[in-house]
A and B are shown apart, each in its own frame.
Chain A
């Protein structure tokens, strides 16, 4: 059985088979239509058969299910970053249907939900299980496991879409971005942030084929040892030299954040890096208007679908 939150009244009529486009109905156990059936497992609708190429995220977000959630950490670090990267405001999203494309453990869905938006959070990975646990008591959050390049929603379903730190982990950042645009209502808005083509991201890209050969849990155990060891020795130039060839973050938000970010930075299979001009070009090609960069983060971009 799946819990019937109020948001389901709004979401269920929007569902369709991602392959055929046939409308889906919920029969109490699964979403069915046109001969296809998408099960609900552990209270979460599953529109994919596995976590495919994002196994590191399944591990990462179920291990760090609340590390980045403001509501658990008691700070506003994620909210501050969300505002900087999207320029969304509570007044703008209150009561709106918002798609979080690549919800992870729900770092940003938490914010939109607290602001009063109805949030649909989708992710290809089993991170949806962490997100489901985090939001099972919130009536305005609906979580599903789905591929953001092949989502089970009708065109023009959402008032707003955001995807922060996700699209560059797909096989083709631009193509996956383009697949989100039809889901936006006319007059709706989309905001994304992808990895910039800065040196530290370019260096990580060179490591990734090698780190990908390691078992996920072994690399994670190493990150748990290495990040605290190196961070408390940051003033040592020899450790600085290591950081030069193996960049790791020190956000000043605690070791757990930095361990998570280091693992996150090196373990994914895909790691696209992009220039601000490239990202702006995608927005123009998608026919969006009012395009602008919400803040100093180089590769965040916001745009609007014409009415």
Chain B
């Protein structure tokens, strides 16, 4: 199926307008979390962040944790701008669900608040696999 009919295009427009109105209502009535637009704008004014992660903690399944500063824009509020590198090779998918990181691993990661939830490319233990893990903010 492709969005190639006039009816589909009309549906997309009408549903988009409707959902924006609903979103506005749910945010105003505090039934949905704030989208943090101000924090997103501020994130573009700072110097890009980078760090080699040394202190790694096991979470569960294939998931490991690393600590990050609280002022960075994370997937908890929006989309983190951080990219995780394993020996300078970017891992991913970024912004992954935490259950997917725990159960599937394979390099999936998520920057959530002050924590980096991540998995290694081969689901090995990052504390003993001899690889280096760094994060960099990419805009």
Contacts and interface: CB of A to CB of B under 8 A. Distances in A.
Interface of A: 63, 80-81, 84, 199-200, 203, 206-207, 210-211, 214, 217-219, 221-222, 224-226, 234-246, 249-252, 295-298
Contacts of A298: 99
Interface residues of B, number: 46
A178 B37 CA distance: 45
B33 A235 contact: no
Interface in B10-38: 11-12, 14-16, 18-19, 22-23, 26-27, 31-33, 35-37
A214 B22 CA distance: 12
25 contacts: A63-B1, A81-B103, A84-B103, A206-B31, A210-B26, A217-B11, A219-B15, A222-B12, A222-B19, A224-B8, A225-B8, A226-B12, A234-B79, A234-B95, A236-B79, A240-B79, A241-B35, A245-B23, A245-B32, A250-B96, A252-B93, A252-B104, A296-B99, A296-B102, A297-B99
Contacts of A244: 33, 35-36, 76-78
Nearest to B32: A245
Nearest to A64: B1
Contacts, number: 118
A280 to B, nearest CB: 18
Given A235-B79, A239-B79, A252-B96, A206 B32 contact: yes
A238 to B, nearest CB: 6
Given A236-B79, A241-B40, A296-B102, A246 B97 contact: no
